[in-house]
Structures are given as structure tokens and as C-alpha cells.
A and B are shown apart, each in its own frame.
Chain A
Amino acid sequence: VTVKIDVDMYQCQNYGQCVFEAPNIFHLNDDDKLEHLAEADESERANVENAVDVCPMQAIRIVE
């Protein structure tokens, strides 16, 4: 089972709060742009949900 992650890159302002909650999934690159995995193991679900919660732009969504 995997968790599918969708980030609205138009909404995303690269604040990077998700990086603290789910460091295996989200990453700010050297140009301050957010990079992320599109899928993660189910064991990451709680972290990804936390990342959804802390995004000030509410740009992250778990695709069910």
C-alpha cells in the first residue's frame, strides 16, 4: 500500500514546513524550490498528514 502525494505547485510558496514533518518525502533544493516524492510507503502516512497540516498554503493533498 502506498500514499499518493499531490502538491499544488502554483499554491506552494516553498516555505518548507513539510520538510520538518516528513523529511523522507519533501525537500527544499538549492534554488529554494520544493521537491517531493509522488508516492510513499504507508508507514509515512502520519508524517505526510502532518505535512498537510503545517502547510500554510494548504498546497499538499493526499490522493485517496
Chain B
Amino acid sequence: MTEHPVVIVGAAMGGLRTAESLRRAGYAGGIRMIGDELHAPYNRPPLSKDVLSTGVTHEAVAFPSRAETADVEWMLGSRAEGVDLDSRTVTTADGAEHAYRALVIATGLRPRRLPFPPTPGRHAVRSLDDAMALRDELVPGARVVVIGSGFLGCELAATATKLGCSVTVVTPSAEPMIRPLGELLAHELRTRLEREGVTFVLGAEVTGVDGAVSLADGAVLEAGVIIEAIGSDCNDDWLAGTGLDLSDGVLADNALRAVTTDGIAHDDIYVVGDIARFPNPLFDDVPRRIEHWNIPTDTGRRAGAVLGARLTEGFEDAVATPFAPMPSFWSNQFDIKLQAYGLPGLADPQGIRILEGDLGGEVAVGYHRDDRLVGVVGVGLKAALLPYRQQIAAGT
């Protein structure tokens, strides 16, 4: 009897890294990748930057394909609608059924949208197609309102400003990027972004979007282009009714095995990327989702190694190997280059202080929880951050 393939649902970075890792672990059987986008996996960070400001296409952002995964079966433009864990079958929107020997959940996130009827000129940026659609509208002189002031919103505001647009960022927050960075650095970064020409409306509540953005205080911001960057929701609808714990993404154990609401880990179901909520012993035993760029790669490698061992040999050793990925993220806004390690958002409010440099120039800000360094964010600094990264890794 022919064995069913490993089915990876979600054909983006996390799914790709899982497939590569399965091969490195010695698994030579079938791998089927099911993804709703038509594009082969590509790098998303340029979507808010180079893809908007230059004419780059899919080839420029696509991940290189490797010989070891040349025989992976790609089913692009195919959306998973459901899964039956008992019969081990994924159903896609075209009605096809995909029997699997093991399942990898890598369906990631979709942009959260404001609850207003669709009108022309409204955008969100998650996919290459989203960025391409926005690119055509970011012309010099265009009035752009960005709703949301996280990293994505601020990067989009910077890129649109550089393209000659007039940009206002509207946010309920007291400062942009305040949740991950804290007030100290967030305030400094807002000052710098304002100096570059971005206008901020802070503490604002959006009450309507209809060719303009209406705020609760009665203000109306005219906008030819409205970009919603208010966060993301997990693509977990297709997992409803499976008994998996979907309380925030998909719960997984440290081996990235999916866990049910009864606390039972499935040896043949793995969770990878932004959608995975897993414990990281670098910090504590609390499972968290981490929406940082390195996580799809780190979790894909981990899931591929454990599942590969499951399908070949050495499963118990693979499960017992601790998995403690260092979260890291980057953000470029104008000439501001942010780089971070760890989870700054875990810091105590009074645990945020300058480690070196000066706030108005190049600076490293430390984020402490119970006096332990849990995150570091550098502005303009690179090599100087490495000792702090080590400190976070050492758990001291």
C-alpha cells in the first residue's frame, strides 16, 4: 500500500521550511503543500517597503527552491476548508480530499479589517497581491490615511511618505509601536517620524470609513487611500470542530505537536509559524504566539525535525530536545533601523531603560522582567546588541 503524504496546509515560509527540514531529517516520502495564494513562498517584509517603492515582482521576493524539495507536490490557489482528524483527511474549497499520514498546520494570519462596508481605496497589506494593488495608488500627492500604528502601519507610512504621499497615521494608542516598545522608545520614534513628515492622530477612535476616515471626536480626514494595519486574525476556521485548542491560534507543545482542549498532544499533527502558540523555555512555560519574521523558519525547522524523526527514527530524542528560539525582528522606517531580540513586550513597566547610547541618536534599550533582561531593541546599533542577545539567551 502506498503511504499517504505529509500534508502541509499553508504554502508560505513556515510550510516551506518544514518541508526542507523533513528532508534533512531523512524523510523521503511524499509531501503535499496546500496554499490559498497562487504564488510560491516569498518573503513578506519587502511588501511594506521595496515592493511598494520599486517595480519588483514575485521573482525578486521568492525564496530560492532547493533540490531536496524538488519533488514536493504543490497545490497553490487551493484553500483548506476542513479536516477530519479521525479519517486523516483535509478538504479543500474545490471539493478535493487529501488523505495524510501527518498534518502540518501553517496557515498563518490574515489582516483584521474594520467592520465597515467595503469602499474603493481601502487596503490591507499581507500578500504580494495586496501590495501590488496598493502600489498603483501611492502616487505623489495622494492623501493617505494609515489606520493602526504598529510596525507594519509605521513602515507603510514611511514608504508612502517617501513616495511623495501626504500621510496621516490614526491610532487608538498613546504612541506608535507602544505595545512592543514601551513609552520611552515609542515616543522618540514618533518624534522622528513626525520630523520626516508623517502626521499622527493619537488616541483616536475610527467611527466610519467611506472615502474619508471619520473619528469619534467628529474629525473627518479626507483620504484617497486608506490602509488598515490594525493587526491580524489567525486562519484557523478550517480547524473548527477538531477538538484542537484554538483559543489563540493553535496550541502546541514544545515539540510543536498540536494540543487538544483536553491537553493531549497529537504525534502526527504539528503547528508552525505565526499561528503556533507554543511555550518557549527562553522565557517561561506560557505558550505564546510570536508574530516575528524568524518564527516561521525556526518553528518550521523544529516541526520538520520532530516529524521527520517520527516518520523515520529517533522520535523520543527529537521531542526531548529543547526548543528555545530567540525571537528577533527588524523594522526600517526612513533611515531609522530598528533591530530587536527577545520579547520586549514582556517587560515590567518600570523595567525599560537605556543600556547604552543616547535616545536621540543610536541607542540600545533594555526590557527587564523581574530584573532579568527579556528583550533588547537597538536603533542604529547592530554588533553592539549581540552581548545583550547572549544575555537574553542565557536567561540572566
Residues of A within 8 A of B (CB): 13-17, 19, 28-30, 32, 46, 49, 52-54, 56, 58, 61
Q: Which residues of A contact B328 (CB under 8 A)?
A: 17
Cα distance, A16 to B332, chains bound together (Å) = 15
Q: Which residues of B contact A15 (CB under 8 A)?
A: 330, 339, 382
Q: With A53-B17, A56-B330 given, is the CB distance from A16 to B382 under 8 Å?
A: yes
Q: How far is the CB of A61 from chain B (nearest CB, A)?
A: 7
Q: With A53-B17, A56-B45 given, is the CB distance from A16 to B64 under 8 Å?
A: no
Indicate if the CB atoms of A54 and B294 lie closer than 8 Å.
yes
B143-163 with Cβ < 8 A to chain A: none
Q: With A15-B330, A17-B328 given, is the CB distance from A61 to B382 under 8 Å?
A: no
Q: How far is the CB of B271 from chain A (nearest CB, A)?
A: 20
Residues of B within 8 A of A (CB): 17, 24, 43, 45, 61, 63-64, 66, 293-294, 297, 328, 330, 332, 337, 339, 381-384, 386
Q: Which residues of A contact B43 (CB under 8 A)?
A: 56, 58
Indicate if the CB atoms of B332 and A13 lie closer than 8 Å.
yes
Indicate if the CB atoms of B330 and A16 lie closer than 8 Å.
no
A32 is contacted by which of B61, B63, B330, B381 (Cβ under 8 Å)?
B381
Q: Which residues of B contact A29 (CB under 8 A)?
A: 383
Q: With A13-B332, A14-B382, A16-B382 given, is the CB distance from A58 to B61 under 8 Å?
A: yes
Q: How far is the CB of B252 from chain A (nearest CB, A)?
A: 21
Q: Which residues of A contact B17 (CB under 8 A)?
A: 53
Q: How far is the CB of A13 from chain B (nearest CB, A)?
A: 7
Indicate if the CB atoms of A16 and B337 lie closer than 8 Å.
no
Q: With A54-B294, A56-B293, A58-B43 given, is the CB distance from A32 to B64 under 8 Å?
A: no
The 3 closest A-B pairs by CB, nearest first: A32-B382, A28-B383, A14-B382
Q: Which residues of A contact B337 (CB under 8 A)?
A: 13
Q: Which residues of A contact B382 (CB under 8 A)?
A: 14-16, 28, 32
Cα distance, A13 to B339, chains bound together (Å) = 11
Indicate if the CB atoms of A30 and B297 lie closer than 8 Å.
no
Cα distance, A49 to B383, chains bound together (Å) = 22
Q: Which residues of B contact A56 (CB under 8 A)?
A: 43, 45, 293, 330
Cα distance, A15 to B386, chains bound together (Å) = 10
Q: Which residues of B contact A28 (CB under 8 A)?
A: 382-383, 386
Q: Which residues of B contact A53 (CB under 8 A)?
A: 17, 297
Most interface-central of A19, A30, A53 (chain B CB within 10 A): A53
Q: How far is the CB of A57 from chain B (nearest CB, A)?
A: 8
Q: Which residues of A contact B45 (CB under 8 A)?
A: 56
Q: How far is the CB of A6 from chain B (nearest CB, A)?
A: 12
Cα distance, A16 to B293, chains bound together (Å) = 14
Q: How far is the CB of A2 from chain B (nearest CB, A)?
A: 18
Q: How far is the CB of A3 from chain B (nearest CB, A)?
A: 14
In the complex formed, the residue of A with least CB distance to B332 is: A13
Q: Which residues of B contact A46 (CB under 8 A)?
A: 24
A-B contact pairs, 21 of them (CB 8 A): A13-B330, A13-B332, A13-B337, A15-B330, A17-B328, A28-B386, A29-B383, A32-B381, A32-B383, A49-B66, A52-B64, A53-B17, A53-B297, A54-B297, A56-B43, A56-B45, A56-B293, A56-B330, A58-B43, A58-B61, A61-B64
Indicate if the CB atoms of A58 and B383 lie closer than 8 Å.
no
In the complex formed, the residue of B with least CB distance to A31 is: B383
In the complex formed, the residue of A with least CB distance to B337 is: A13
In the complex formed, the residue of A with least CB distance to B60 is: A58
Cα distance, A58 to B47, chains bound together (Å) = 13
Cα distance, A14 to B386, chains bound together (Å) = 13
Cα distance, A61 to B66, chains bound together (Å) = 12
Most interface-central of A13, A46, A61 (chain B CB within 10 A): A13
Cα distance, A54 to B386, chains bound together (Å) = 16
